[in-house]
Structure 1
Amino acid sequence: MRQNLTFDFTVNKENNTVEVKREFAADLDLVWEAWTNPAILDQWWAPKPYRAETKSMDFREGGRWHYAMISPKGEKHWGVNDYLTIETQKGFSCMDAFSDENGNIDPDLPRTYWNNDFKQTGSTTFVTINARYNSLSDLEKVIEMGFKEGFSMALENLDQYLEAQFLLRRQNKTNTKARVCTYLNFAGNTEEAFLFYKSVFRTEFVGKGIQRFGDIPAAPGNPPVADAVKNMILHVELPITAHHILMATDAPKEMGFNLTQGNNMHISIEPDTREEAKRIFDELSAGGVVSMPLEDMFFGAYFGSFTDKFGINWMINYQNQ
């Protein structure tokens, strides 16, 4: 989280509530999307090394989000969120509960009544979260289970990872000239792979070369990068034949990723205009599965990703200047 952004966590044992006030350096529509789009929720809802995985989501009044928190060993801890009220880009309320894989609620564990309010204030967005429990013992149990630490970690890790990764991409590409790249993910051996590719194509890395997670100083208020992650590759770019660019990052299980052959490679299109980015995205994604809608992101790009109807993964990325 950037310096001077609000993050307050208050426990009130008199009325069995927790109030969280969190400020984001992003527009309201982007923050709302991060809380209501399952593809984005899966990226940040679980604190590392856990990861979140949505089984189903119906974001409407009376709808439900059914998801799992998955441990590094693959153990799944299920939960459901039943949506009660929704006022688009203003707030929503819901009842959260522990459950089984079929969505049956566990009556022996606490339920949380969430009320989330969203408000744009200049260039930032405030989210005020009120979590209420049926009893003091329920409140104390979730605090003991690490609610504050886990929730804080998830938000901060998402900020740090996305902002750092896309900052480097902007540094390496200083104009809006169109190009096509191939974006690769590796389970911790990016450096080995790219040193091999470099020797084959006899080219040099773009910009500052291999960038590691440990090279990026934590912003004030952010936790330092974990020792196990510091030496992993955050971003690297290598020109190959005909100036085509290979890009890559490490995406190991320790950071909540689950790579398989097929989801570890994207064709990345960087059009020279915003209009062309939208045209390509809309036409190429027709009949496919959109994993992230094309939108303005708080890291400075007009970005979206999808798998087309033939099973090929694509990223569309126009860098706002």
Structure 2
Amino acid sequence: MKSSLLLNFTADKVNNQILVEREFDAPVQLVWDAWTKPEILDLWWAPRPWKTKTKSMNFVPGGTWLYSMLGPAHEEHFCRADYKTIDTLKGYTGLDAFCDPEGNINEAFPRTNWDVRFNAQEEQTMVNVTLSFDKLEDLEGIIQMGFKEGFLAAMENLDEFIRAQFQLRLDKKPDNQPRVSSYVNFPGNTEEAFLFYREVFQTEFVNGLQRFGDIPASTETPPVAENIQKMILHVELPMIGNHVLMGTDAPKEMGFTLTSGNNMHINLEPDSREEATRIFNALSAGGNISMPLQDMFWGAYYGSFTDRFGINWMVNYQPK
């Protein structure tokens, strides 16, 4: 991962604006989803120990996101964002407000215009946020309310989410020989399941059980949440016929909603980039691509999709 992520926060009192420039160590599709899907926004938008809870969201021009911020002492403050323009994967604009649970705007507080831009930069994404205020006292008021500290803390929450997402996809294979494996997800009981499978197949885990708590913390990313640290990040178990079963925990806290059918993938590991591209394009035709085939920061050429028959696939080429 990149060792240092760019961050600039500027209060422009001449133009009544706050300018935030923030780099994220992920492709633009993942970062865009994190800013525009309510199930992911709820995971990171509020600075800890506060939490975000979406009541409704319609991410279209003219649509509204109605949500609350829940405090540690059971406080609850409602907010809304009214979307004006949306340019998919590139940016959106909107107007925020404090409101009541039904979305009626609290006129005692000023509204802020948001302009959020997403710029793909190879393996990273730069997000530029411009907040515009009607008058200087509105800008100074939001600064006094702790906006800078809270917003930057939320950005760190998003770093943690991104890191967890990519750690889920890390390949533990020691070489790049082609193989096919099965990849299964559980909501928090992967260890229990794989201990059962180990007993049945009478084999041993490859490299043991890797847990989310084993992820090293850094200055850019905070530690994994305590209730997730003991969950399984990655496990491999040989079965029969040289087939390998892989697994990971994918709990709701990380934005996953597992159902019978979406919790299992066939994982293909071709021996060349060209073959990975050919297989991905052929199998995904007429299906639904969840992660376009692309270079990932850990060195893999990776993508995932559901084919037109409803079968989930991963394609992961790892060069030597």
Q: Tell me if both proteins adopt one fold, taking TM over 0.5 as the criterion.
A: yes
Question: What stretches of structure 1 of length at least 5 have no aligned partner?
Answer: none
Partner residue, 1:204: 204
**TM-score, length basis structure 1:** 0.75
2:115 matches 1:114: yes
**C-alpha distance after superposition, 1:90-145 (max 9, x if no partner):** x6452255799xxx98655834321536375x986644332324455487279399
Matches within 5 A, 1:34-45: 34-36=30-32, 38=33, 42=37, 45=41
Give 1:228 shift: 0.9
2:43 matches 1:47: yes
Matches within 5 A, 1:6-155: 6-12=6-12, 15-25=15-25, 30-31=27-28, 33-36=29-32, 38=33, 42=37, 45-48=41-44, 81-83=83-85, 92=91, 94-95=93-94, 97=96, 107-108=105-106, 110-116=111-117, 118=119, 120=121, 126-134=126-134, 136-137=137-138, 140=142, 143=147, 146-154=150-158
2:231 matches 1:232: yes
Higher CA-based Rg = 2
Give 1:294 shift: 1.2
Amino acid at match of 1:175: D
- Name the CA distance, whole Å, in 2 between partners of 1:22 and 1:126: 6
Number of aligned residues = 297
Partner residue, 2:214: 215
Partner residue, 2:194: 194
Question: What stretches of structure 2 of length at least 5 have no aligned partner?
Answer: 45-50, 71-77
- Name the CA distance, whole Å, in 1 between partners of 2:224 and 2:147: 25
2:258 matches 1:259: yes
- Name the CA distance, whole Å, in 2 between partners of 1:276 and 1:64: 44
- Name the CA distance, whole Å, in 1 between partners of 2:293 and 2:66: 26
**C-alpha distance after superposition, 1:28-83 (max 9, x if no partner):** xx34x4445x499648544347699997767xxxx6787787999xxx98755433
**TM-score, length basis structure 2:** 0.75
Query: In structure 1, the residue corresponding to 2:217 is in which secondary structure?
Result: coil
2:163 matches 1:160: yes
Amino acid at match of 2:154: G
Q: CA RMSD of the aligned region, Å? A: 3.9
Q: Is the 8 A contact 1:95 1:112 kept in 2?
A: yes
Partner residue, 2:73: none
Q: Is the 8 A contact 2:96 2:112 kept in 1?
A: yes
> Sequence identity of aligned pairs in percent?
41
Query: In structure 2, the residue corresponding to 1:158 is in which secondary structure?
Result: helix
Query: In structure 1, the residue corresponding to 2:313 is in which secondary structure?
Result: strand
- Name the CA distance, whole Å, in 2 between partners of 1:263 and 1:68: 28
- Name the CA distance, whole Å, in 1 between partners of 2:235 and 2:274: 28
Partner residue, 1:302: 301
Partner residue, 1:242: 241
Q: Is the 8 A contact 1:98 1:106 kept in 2?
A: no
- Name the CA distance, whole Å, in 2 between partners of 1:297 and 1:51: 31
Give 1:17 shift: 2.9
